[in-house]
Amino acid sequence: MPRKSVSAAPAKPRRTRVKPSCDTCFFGCRMLCALELNSPCSTYRPDTPQGLVPPQQPMLLVEAGAATLAPDAVAA
C-alpha cells in the first residue's frame, strides 16, 4: 500500500513589528507626552485606529493544590 505524502502546513505570514518610537506612540501622536527622551519610555503604547489598547497580560495559571483551603483556615 503506498504511503500518503504529508504536505507541510502553509506558512503564516509574519507580522512585521514596528520598532517602538515616540512617533508611533499613542501619547506622542496625540501630544499627551511631556517627556523629552531620545527613546520610547516604559509607558509606550502603539497608536492604533482602536485608540489606546492595554498591553496583553499573561494568563494566570493556578495550581490544583493551591485552590483548596487549609483545614485550619476553614475552621476560622
Please tell me which residue, 49 or 76, carries the higher pLDDT value.
49
Q: Where are the domains of the chain?
A: 18-47
Per-residue model confidence as pLDDT tens digits over 11-67: 666 666 768 888 889 998 999 988 888 888 888 888 989 988 887 888 888 887 665
CA pair distance 45, 30, nearest whole angstrom? 12
Identify whether the C-beta of residue 24 lies closer than 8 Å to the C-beta of residue 46. yes
Cell triple for 42: 516604559
Confidence grade of residue 68 (pLDDT, cut at 50, 70, 90): low
Cα–Cα separations (whole angstroms), residue 69 to 35, 60, 61: 47, 19, 17
